[in-house]
Chain A
Amino acid sequence: MTEGVILETRGLGRAFTGRKPLLGPATVVQAVKDVDLEVRRGETLAIVGESGCGKSTLARVLVRLLAPTVGTVFYEGRDIAKLGGAELRSLRRELQFIFQDPFSSLNPRMTVGALIGEPLKVHGLGNAAARRAKVARLLTRVGLRTGDAARYPHEFSGGQRQRIGIARALASGPKVLVGDEPVSALDVSIQAQVVNILQDLKAEFGLTLIIIAHDLAVIRHMADRVAVMYLGQVVELAPVADLFANPRHPYTEALIASIPLPVVGGRRAQVPLAGDLPDPTDPPKGCRFHTRCPYAIGRCARQVPKLADPWATHQVACHRTDELALTGLTTVAVGRSPEAVARFEMYRAAAAERAGSTGLEISTEE
Chain B
Amino acid sequence: MNDQPPLLEVRGLSVRIRGAARNLVDEVSLELNAGETLCVVGESGCGKSLTALALMGLLSDPPLQLMGGKALFRGQNLLSLKRHNLQQMRGDQVAMIFQEPMTSLNPSLRIGEQIAETVRRHRGVSTADARARALEMLERVRIPAAGARLDAYPHELSGGMRQRAMIAMALANDPAVLIADEPTTALDVTIQAQILELMRGLLAETGAALILITHDLGVVAEMADRVAVMYAGRIVEVGAARAIFEDPQHPYTIGLMSSMPSFGDSGARLVTIPGVVPSATAMPPGCRFAPRCPFVEDACGAQPAAKAVGSDHMVACVRAPLGVAA
Contacts and interface: CB of A to CB of B under 8 A. Distances in A.
A99 B193 CA distance: 27
A355 B272 contact: yes
B245 to A, nearest CB: 5
Nearest to A276: B158
B294 A189 contact: no
Contacts of A331: 263-264
B261 to A, nearest CB: 4
Nearest to A260: B218
A240 B294 CA distance: 33
Contact of B255 (A266, A277, A336, A351): A351
B272 A192 contact: yes
Interface string A248-284: 0000001101111111111110111110110000000
Interface in B258-309: 258-264, 266-267, 269-277, 294-295
Given A221-B266, A261-B218, A347-B255, A339 B193 contact: no
A277 B161 CA distance: 11
Contacts of B269: 196, 199, 364
Contact of A351 (B247, B267, B274, B322): B274
A195 interface: yes
B246 A262 contact: no
B266 A241 contact: yes
Interface stretch (A9-17, A211-219, A294-302, A306-314): A211-219
Contact of A189 (B160, B245, B255, B323): B255
B100 to A, nearest CB: 14
B245 A361 contact: no
A195 B269 CA distance: 9
Interface in A324-364: 329, 331, 334-337, 339-340, 342-344, 346-348, 350-355, 358, 360-361, 364
Contact of B221 (A160, A262, A344): A262
A51 B248 CA distance: 34
Interface in A24-72: 50-51
B241 interface: yes
B273 A351 contact: yes
A192 B324 contact: no
B197 A347 contact: no
A189 B259 CA distance: 6
A340 B233 CA distance: 26
Nearest to A333: B264
B188 interface: yes
Contacts of A191: 259
B288 to A, nearest CB: 14
B246 A335 contact: yes
Contact of B261 (A50, A220, A268, A276): A220
A159 interface: yes
B222 A260 contact: yes
Nearest to B197: A271
Given A261-B218, A343-B254, A192 B245 contact: no
Contacts of B257: 262, 344
Which label, helix, strand, loop or mixed, suits the secondary structure of the B interface? loop
Given A50-B188, A340-B247, A240 B276 contact: no
A51 B274 CA distance: 31
Contacts of B259: 188-189, 191-192
A273 B194 CA distance: 8
Contacts of A258: 189-190, 192-193
Which label, helix, strand, loop or mixed, suits the secondary structure of the A interface? helix
A303 interface: no
Interface residues of A, number: 70
Given A277-B158, A337-B247, A347-B258, A360 B266 contact: no
B132 interface: no
A196 B261 CA distance: 11
Contacts of B216: 260
Contacts of B221: 260-264, 266-267
Interface string A180-217: 00000001111111011001000000000000001011
B64 interface: no
Given A255-B189, A271-B193, A271-B194, A244 B263 contact: yes
A157 interface: yes
Interface in A148-165: 157, 159-160
B190 A360 contact: no
Contact of B270 (A196, A266, A267): A196
B219 interface: yes
A221 B259 CA distance: 12
A188 to B, nearest CB: 6
A351 to B, nearest CB: 5
Contacts of A220: 261, 263, 266
Contacts of A160: 276
B135 to A, nearest CB: 20
Nearest to B270: A192
Contact of A348 (B271, B277, B324): B271
B27 interface: no
Contact of B189 (A50, A157, A189, A218): A50
Given A192-B271, A277-B158, 18 more contacts: A50-B190, A189-B259, A196-B270, A217-B263, A222-B261, A258-B189, A260-B218, A261-B222, A262-B217, A262-B257, A264-B224, A264-B242, A273-B194, A276-B160, A343-B248, A344-B257, A347-B258, A360-B274
9 nearest A-B residue pairs (beta carbon): A260-B218, A350-B294, A221-B261, A192-B259, A187-B43, A50-B188, A189-B273, A192-B270, A360-B274
